[in-house]
Amino acid sequence: MSNQELLAKIGQTSDETEFYTPMPTGYRKGHVKYVVVVGTVMSGLGKGIFSSSLAKLLQDKGLKVAPIKMEGYLNIDSGTLNPYRHGEVFVLDDGMETDMDLGTYERLLDQDLSAANFTTNGQIMSSVLRKEREGSYLGRDVQFIPHVTGEVKLKLRELAAKSNADVVFVEVGGTVGDYENTAYLEACRQLAYEEGENSVVFVALTYILEPGALGEQKSKAAQLGIKRLMEMGIMPDLIACRAAHPVKDSVREKISMYTNVPMKRVVTMHDVESIYTIPENLREVGLDREVLTLLSLHDRVNQRAEDQARMKWRWFVDRIGKAKKDVTVAVTGKYATLRDAYASIIKACEHCGVHLGVNVNIKWVDTTAIDPSSVTRHLRDVQGIIVPGGFGVRGTEGKIECIRYARENKVPYLGLCLGFQMAVIEFARNVAGLREANSSEFDPRCKQCVIDILPEQKLIEGLGGNMRLGGKDVEIKPDTLASKLFDGASQIRLRFRHRYEVDPKFIPILQEHGMIFSGKHPNQPIMQILELPADMHPYFIGTQAHPELTSRPLRPQPMFLGLIKAAMARAEAKTAQQAQAV
């Protein structure tokens, strides 16, 4: 029996063969191509940015691409990870909680991804153990090879079949030297063997050191990192060199010589002003053409599609950093010292700034240090205020003070998730006369829990089990600010990640004092967007959702766009006042 015949024995291992290659229904081996991106030297170099940028170049050519991020940790998802350890939790439309790299893929590719685009060792191991209990391995002892690696390959092929992609981009988190990545790397090596020639391209993203004391770029760490990859049986086809400055030809030559990778496939990926310029940089050095050649994909290219996509993207990129106007927006949260915790907010503001021709400067305000005596000092120089999401009581009273300042001083305000809930509490306390208003999350014995877990949610057991996660439909009230922002749409879709709601019994008194609930669940008394009328405030809106997750470079999110427009109007009004005074 030939190797091919052995491989065709779907999902089976026996005394006859050690191959374990389960194939999803409809999968055509060799038709789908794979680009596997791995890191060496250190993590955090931007594998997701590089992978999504390269994927965008192929997408621009009319090819269908599907990314997947493979994480080494044993968590099932990223939902319980502390932002200080892993940055923001990015929620997909189907409710999967992932790491922030999935946000990079969604923004650059303008795709809504799903659980199929993300996996962890926890998911892989859980699936293997479940199948073992079900007897799926025909009585064999379950082993790292071939069963765990087989499950990884199945995950990749299932994505390929489900998405009908031309190219699947596989990002392996961490670095080559991480023990937890062993299964992923071995599975990708086997994948290349099984799929055949011109089916898999391996990209090594490495780091070129520039010690200040030496004054030159050093490639030894990069060489050793790539050597570690080669020792695992993986020969890189492309090498991307991260560095603070453009990598010199002499350094690229040295890496080329030690890795057998041609010079034209050893490219510099140095620091740039914006990650959105990287696709064009990679196109200019011809990396997209090299990938097409390695994967024999030239015949699938649509040149007209590429020209049109490139024109649209260049319009956006050419406007980055060219604005003459400035506004300052405060992001007031408890993770203010960790920018990655609010990565999507930063990007949403950047998208709006480019489209509106203004530089959006973010002022980070730690709400754990805010009280009534200090709030003015922190916020008097800003033209907009964002209160982001979060969990737990720390910093919440500071957030409430920031919201009170925004409401009383008519500073444009956008509340996200917890920022929505805090706006309800602030309004209840200081406008509706509910002095003891609070959330049962912070004080389970509070007498006026305007924010609470609804009865039907309390029946669901387990941390995270009663979370509202992912994309949900929102019914928009006509003739409101929300309706205007979303071009008169009667129903929109937003992404959620929260557990607590506005208690319906307090809604009438809040409405009597002026609060408008302009977005709600289509069938249940769940309030999802609030606002204040124009005669009370020029721009005051909050949502239980996380609209920052769906902002795109070419399609800025409407709530953020409205905030930045209002901030610009406030800045212009102040400038006019100062000119008049002079």
Higher pLDDT, 579 or 11: 579
Q: Are 102 and 90 in contact (CB under 8 A)?
A: yes
Q: Are 482 and 529 in contact (CB under 8 A)?
A: yes
CA distances from 31 to 158, 161, 164, 170, 300 (A): 14, 10, 10, 16, 12
Reported confidence tier of residue 455, pLDDT bands at 50, 70, 90? low
Q: Of 241, 349, 417, 449, which one is the catalytic site residue?
A: 417
Mean of the per-residue pLDDT values of the chain:
91
Q: Of 147, 378, 498, 546, which one is the catalytic site residue?
A: 546
Rounded CA-CA distance 102/109 in Å is 10
Q: In this structure, what token pair is assigned to residue 185?
A: 């790397």
Tell me the mean pLDDT in the region 330-346. Answer: 87
Tens-digit pLDDT profile for residues 524-538: 889 999 999 999 999
Higher pLDDT, 419 or 25: 419
CA distances from 473 to 91, 114, 233, 423, 503 (A): 15, 17, 48, 22, 20
Q: Are 124 and 152 in contact (CB under 8 A)?
A: yes
Rounded CA-CA distance 328/392 in Å is 27
DSSP state for residue 402 in the 8-state scheme: H
In CATH terms, the fold of domain 31-316 is Rossmann fold (3.40.50)
49-63, 78-92, 421-435, 525-539: the lowest-pLDDT one? 78-92
Strand, coil or helix: what is 421?
A: helix
Preceding amide of 146 cis, omega within 30: yes
Q: Mutual orientation of helices 149-163 and 121-133 as an angle, nearest 10°?
A: 100
Tens-digit pLDDT profile for residues 548-566: 999 999 999 999 999 999 9
Which positions ≥6 away from 135 have C-beta within 8 Å? none
Q: Supply the pLDDT for residue 466.
A: 64
- List the chain domain ranges: 31-316, 323-573
Reported confidence tier of residue 462, pLDDT bands at 50, 70, 90? very low
Superfamily of domain 323-573: Class I glutamine amidotransferase (GATase) domain (3.40.50.880)
Q: Of 106, 290, 501, 548, which one is the catalytic site residue?
A: 548
DSSP 253-322: HHHHHHHT--GGGEEEEE--S-GGGHHHHHHHTTHHHHHHHHTT-GGG--HHHHHHHHHHHHHHHHHTT-
Q: Mutual orientation of helices 220-231 and 249-259 as an angle, nearest 10°?
A: 20
Tell me the mean pLDDT in the region 289-309. Answer: 96
Can 134 be counted among the known catalytic residues? no
**Phi/psi of residue 47, each to 5°?**
-60, -40
Q: In this structure, what token pair is assigned to residue 52?
A: 């999504």
Closest C-alpha among 179, 173, 132 to residue 151: 132
134-148, 175-189, 199-213, 377-391: the lowest-pLDDT one? 134-148
Q: How many CA atoms lie within 13 A of 4 on its CB side?
A: 4
Cα 346 → chain centroid: 12
Q: In this structure, what token pair is assigned to residue 176?
A: 């080559």
User: Residue type at 155?
Assistant: K
Can 195 be counted among the known catalytic residues? no
Can 446 be counted among the known catalytic residues? no
For residue 424, pLDDT beyond 70: yes
Rounded CA-CA distance 556/352 in Å is 6
Decide whether 31-316 matches 323-573 in CATH topology. yes
What residue ranges in 417-456 does DSSP mark as E strands? Answer: 437-439, 448-452
Q: In this structure, what token pair is assigned to residue 194?
A: 């099984």
Q: Supply the pLDDT for residue 464.
A: 42
Strand, coil or helix: what is 549?
A: helix
Q: Which residue has the tokens 């990287």?
A: 278
For residue 459, pLDDT beyond 70: no
DSSP state for residue 6 in the 8-state scheme: H
